[in-house]
Every structure is written in C-alpha cells, then in structure tokens.
C-alpha cells in the first residue's frame, strides 16, 4: 500500500484518502453480556464505508442502542473488537475514539448557554478561546441557533435543544457521529424538518453516521444502509430499498411496512397453484403480502384468474389520511390488512387480490424463500 508520491497533487490526494479512511468503522464479532447474563449483543459484524449513513432499526430491547453505546465506548464489550479508521479502539476511552454522540434526551449542560454547550468539547481539548468561540458561533449559525445563542437549554424548545446537541457533536468534526433516537422526544411537525436537516448536515460533512431509531419511516428516509436488529443480532443489512423490497426474514417484513403474514402451515389453500407446484410444501412457513399490494375487488367473481385471492370478514378500520387501513379476517381464520382509498366505503365482506410478484414466501423458520423462486426474480 506504500506509494512514492511524485507530485503535490498525489500527496494531497493521499491526505484526502487518509481523512476519509479514518472514518471507516468495523464492528467485529461484538458480544455484550450484562451482569446477570442477559445477552444484549451476540456476535454482531458490521463493516461500514466512510461517509455512510447507517440506520440501526429494531424494536425496543433489540440491542440497537447497546451497539451504539459500545461503538462509543460508553459500554465495555464482552468480546469482539471496534475498529475505527483501521485502528483498534476497543479499549480506548469514549473521548479518544474520534466519535461524538447525540442523545435522545439532548443531554445538554443545564447551567451553560447554547454557545457554551456547543463550545464545551473544544474547551475540553484546549482549543484557544478565540478559535473555539468562532467555531461554536459558526456552528450555531449553521444550525439556525443564532437568536438563542445566549439562552440556557431550559428556555429552548425540544427542536432547538436537539440542534444544540447536534452542534455540540459536530463542532469538533468527529470521524464518526452516533445518534441515539435523536428525534423521538420532538413534536411530530418539527421531526420531519429536523430529519431533513440531519441528512443535509451529514452529506455536507460526510461524517460516518450511526442513527438508532425504532421508527421505520425515519429509517427509510435517512439510511444509506439499513441494519435491522433483533435480539442482539443483525437480522438484515443492506440498502433501504432492498431491505424493504426483499425482506430477508418474516420479522423484517412485519417490522418494516407491516406486511400481512398468512400461516401456510395451517392452510396452503391461499397459495397460487403455480407456486405450489414449484415448492417443496414442507418448507413453506409463511406467505407475506403488503397491505398496499392488495387490491379490493367489488364482487368475489371478479377475482377469478387473479394469482392470490383472499376472502374475508371486515373487523375494523383505521383512517390514515388519504387512505384507510382495513382489518379483516380470512376464511382460513387469519388476520390481514388492506389499504383502500379513504373515500371508498368499507364493506362487511371483502375480497382482495394480489399479483404473485408481490408475494413474499418464508420458510417455517421465518427465512425468505422467494429469492430463490423463478417467478419473483426481477418482478419489481
């Protein structure tokens, strides 16, 4: 890897390469067992390219926050390594890893002003007063905190407080930014705005970012790379489009987008004939189809010829805005949901159809099968 620099341009190129490669993150066989034996992380592997926006998604207790805290160094790991910029930082203090963190409940210093809060990490590493004032002020302006620079955290709104938290994290130009559910304590209307701002800032600084959330909409909106976690393990890891379109497990499919799951071990009657022919029946566990991929037909006769047909009794509905989510129970006594237009009347008996391209199949252990099926390849 050692090259002889010939011109200044190559030297500069190498420096840029060094800056960016210092932002790579590797999590190797990370295991965290709490005293008492609870296994919060179980052999997690993750190699992240510099500048990537990684979203860690999962239900509470899945280990996503623990993973973040282990990367930060706030928790000691039981086994494995953390590598940042090619260096093993497993045994380094949180402050010595080149990482910064944004907290769910802001964690601002209550007796310090906005400017003093942002300035604090620079003060701790003894940046000269004038330089750190200037940097903190610039950061405050960038985050539109100019008018409240002299206020204390208690006087700010939730959105403003989290901007201060973000400013404090970014001001020392970390190689890696860790965000622990930064928007979950913020009003819904501000959340979207701040989400876009986080993305804009991250693109600008191209800081490698880990973002923990349990909100699937937030995850899809922000991620370059989406990591879905469950019970301390990575369930699926990939670009958000791929994770959404080809969920690797039944768990991911239900968690991301609330896919309907029909139990095929109870009845395979719903399965389209052509699918049934190509599959070994004993492997079949679940059939998944998203509520938005189902289409309601007016009369049961209209369903003839459709690949997947479900007849059911409506049990209730929720208005989502322009659409309505109708809950129904199939003839095989399984629960499912379908999205219809809000203006459509909700019938008591319902017949829905779907194309086999929109069907996801999972084996009895919940692993995706349709990736291997001829009919689902290239269907989207």
Partner 1 sequence: MTAALLGPAFVFLIAFVVLPVLTVGALALLNFDPLSQETSFAGLENWHRVLASQELWQATGNTLLYTALTVPFEVGGGLLIALAIRAAGRGAGLWRTAYFAPTAATLAAMSVVWRWLFYPHVGVFDETLGRLVGQDGWLGSTTLALPAVAIVGSWAGIGSCVVMFLAGLSNVPAHLEDAARMDRAGAWHRFWSVIWPAIGPATTFALVITTRDSLRVYDQVRVMTDGGPQQSTSTLSFTAWQRGVSYLDIGGGSVVNTVLLVLVLITVAVQLRLGGRRWEEDGRR
Rounded to 10 deg, the angle between the 158-170 and 114-124 helix axes is: 20
State which of residues 9, 125, 188, 273 lies at the interface with partner 1 (CB under 8 A): 125
- Which range touches partner 1 (CB under 8 A), out of 52-60, 110-118, 218-226, 315-323? 110-118
Minimum separation from the CB atom of position 109 to partner 1 (A)? 5
Q: Which is nearer to partner 1, 171 or 223 (CB)?
A: 171
4 binds partner 1 (CB under 8 A): no
- Which range touches partner 1 (CB under 8 A), out of 89-97, 208-216, 290-298, 357-365? 89-97
Question: How many helices and strands in the chain, by DSSP H and E?
Answer: 10, 18
- DSSP per residue over 115-182, as a string? HHHHHHHHHHTT--HHHHHHHHHHHHHHTT-GGGTTS-GGGS-HHHHHHHHHHHHHTT--SEEEEEST
- DSSP per residue over 52-118, as a string? -EEEEE--TTSSHHHHHHHHHTSS--SEEEEEETTEE-TTS-GGGTTEEEE-TT----TTS-HHHHH
What's the token pair of residue 3? 């090259």
State which of residues 103, 149, 190, 263 lies at the interface with partner 1 (CB under 8 A): 103
Minimum separation from the CB atom of position 320 to partner 1 (A)? 34
Is 250:360 a contact under the CB 8 Å cutoff?
no
State which of residues 63, 121, 257, 285 lies at the interface with partner 1 (CB under 8 A): 121
Q: Residues binding partner 1: what is the number (CB under 8 A)?
A: 27
Q: How many CB atoms lie within 10 A of CB 317?
A: 16
Q: Which is nearer to partner 1, 95 or 272 (CB)?
A: 95
- Which range touches partner 1 (CB under 8 A), out of 42-50, 69-77, 209-217, 245-253? 69-77
C-alpha to C-alpha distance for 197 and 199, rounded to whole angstroms:
5
Q: Which is nearer to partner 1, 105 or 364 (CB)?
A: 105
What's the token pair of residue 20? 């960016």
State which of residues 1, 4, 9, 154 lies at the interface with partner 1 (CB under 8 A): 154
C-alpha to C-alpha distance for 366 and 279, rounded to whole angstroms:
16
User: Left (φ > 0), alpha (ψ -120 to 50) or beta: where does 309 sit?
Assistant: beta
- Which range touches partner 1 (CB under 8 A), out of 90-98, 136-144, 240-248, 256-264? 90-98
Q: What's phi and psi for 107, nearest 5 deg?
A: 55, 50
Q: Which is nearer to partner 1, 18 or 155 (CB)?
A: 155
State which of residues 51, 80, 95, 366 lies at the interface with partner 1 (CB under 8 A): 95
- Looking at residues 160 to 189 of the shown chain, list those that interact with partner 1 (rule: CB under 8 A): 168
Q: Which is nearer to partner 1, 158 or 366 (CB)?
A: 158
Which chain residues interact with partner 1 by CB under 8 A? 69, 72, 74, 93-96, 99-101, 103-105, 107-112, 120-121, 124-125, 152-154, 168
């Amino acid at each position: 890897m050692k090259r002889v620099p010939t011109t200044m341009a190559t030297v500069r190129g190498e420096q840029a390469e060094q800056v960016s490669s210092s932002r790579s993150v590797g999590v190797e066989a990370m295991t965290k067992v709490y005293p008492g034996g609870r296994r919060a992380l179980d052999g997690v592997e993750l190699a992240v390219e510099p500048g990537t926006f990684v979203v860690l998604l999962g239900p509470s207790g899945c280990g996503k926050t623990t993973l973040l805290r282990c990367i930060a160094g706030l928790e000691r790991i039981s086994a494995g390594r953390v590598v940042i910029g090619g260096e093993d930082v497993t045994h380094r203090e949180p402050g010595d890893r080149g990482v910064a963190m944004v907290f769910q409940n802001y964690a601002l210093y209550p007796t310090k002003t906005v400017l003093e809060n942002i300035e604090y990490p620079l003060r701790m590493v003894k940046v000269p007063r004038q330089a750190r004032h200037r940097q903190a002020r610039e950061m405050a302006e960038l985050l539109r905190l100019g008018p409240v620079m002299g206020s204390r955290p208690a006087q700010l709104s939730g959105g403003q407080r989290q901007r201060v938290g973000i400013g404090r994290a970014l001001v020392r130009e970390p190689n890696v930014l860790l965000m622990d559910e930064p928007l979950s304590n913020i009003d819904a209307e501000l959340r979207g705005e701040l989400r876009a701002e986080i993305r804009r800032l991250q693109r600008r600084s191209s800081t490698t970012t880990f973002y923990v959330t349990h909100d699937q909409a937030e995850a899809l909106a922000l991620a370059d790379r989406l990591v879905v976690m469950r019970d301390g393990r990575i369930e699926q890891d990939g670009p958000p489009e791929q994770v959404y379109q080809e969920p690797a497990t039944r768990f991911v499919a239900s968690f991301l987008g609330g896919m309907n799951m029909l139990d095929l071990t109870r009845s395979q009657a719903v399965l389209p004939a052509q699918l049934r022919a190509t599959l070994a029946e004993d492997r079949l566990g679940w059939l998944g189809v998203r509520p938005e991929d189902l289409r309601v037909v007016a009369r049961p006769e209209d369903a003839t010829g459709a690949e997947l047909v479900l007849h059911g009794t409506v049990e209730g509905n929720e208005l989502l805005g322009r659409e309505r989510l109708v809950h129904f129970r199939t003839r095989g006594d399984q629960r499912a949901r379908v999205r219809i237009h809000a203006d459509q009347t909700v019938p008591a008996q319902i017949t829905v159809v779907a194309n086999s391209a929109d069907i996801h199949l999972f084996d009895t252990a919940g692993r995706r099968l349709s990736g291997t099926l001829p009919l689902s390849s290239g269907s989207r």
